[in-house]
Amino acid sequence: MFWYDHNVGGWGWFAMFVGTILFWALTITFGVLLYRALAKPGRSSDRSDARPPGSSPEQFLAERFARGEIDEDEYHRRLTVLRETTGCGPRPSQR
């Protein structure tokens, strides 16, 4: 009944080797994906121009002007458009 003396043949060793590699690859992949999903749950995208939750659009525009991303003319033009569309805030003086 036991013709092969309970030894694993050549294909048996190969199947165990491949099975072990697949097992660890899937385990590590699952761990990495789980870590990435749980590490930063509130972060939906990596936008560099994302505003903090409490800041107003005018503050955001002022920050961009302070960083040098926009010049003074563009700042005043956008501020005027922003205030006209929202309907609040004082009108900037014309130069």
DSSP conformational letter for 70: S
Q: Residue 2: what pLDDT?
A: 53
Q: Where do we find the tokens 């080797």?
A: 17
State how far the Cα of 90 lies from the Cα of 80, in Å rounded to an integer.
9
Q: Which residues contact 76 (CB under 8 A, 6 or more apart)?
A: 92, 95
Averaged pLDDT in 10-residue chunks for the chain of 95 residues: 61 88 97 90 58 74 91 92 75 53
Q: Is the pTM of this model over 0.85?
A: no
- Measure CA 50 to chain center: 12
State how far the Cα of 31 lies from the Cα of 92, in Å rounded to an integer.
55
